[in-house]
Amino acid sequence: MEANMTHKEYKQIISDAIIEYCNNGGSLLNIALNQARKEYIYEFDYLLPEDDKQSLIDKAHQAMQKNKDLPKGIRLIKVKFY
């Protein structure tokens, strides 16, 4: 099993997504005002039932809000802004 995804690792993925969104005509203001839709795409270290996946995703979102490493078993692989 892989180590927890660090704050530094997922911060770079989010930063890259913001740059891509803005380079494609998106507005930083929309992101700041939380008006841009976003999709977080994760991968899991092992097969899980959907309920367990959602629980792990919820824990990952809580960790990201606190700038902490993600819980074991989940990795952020991409963020898409619309």
Taken in order 9, 68, 74, 26, the sign of the CA dihedral is negative
Query: What are the sequence ranges of the domains in the chain?
Result: 7-81
What pLDDT score does 3 carry? 77
What pLDDT score does 2 carry? 64
Per-residue pLDDT of the chain (82 residues; tens, 9 = 90+): 567 999 999 999 999 999 999 999 999 999 999 999 999 999 999 999 999 999 999 999 999 999 999 999 999 999 999 9
Q: Print the SS3 string covering 15-42.
A: HHHHHHHHHCCCCHHHHHCCCCCEEEEE
User: Which pTM value belongs to this model?
Assistant: 0.86
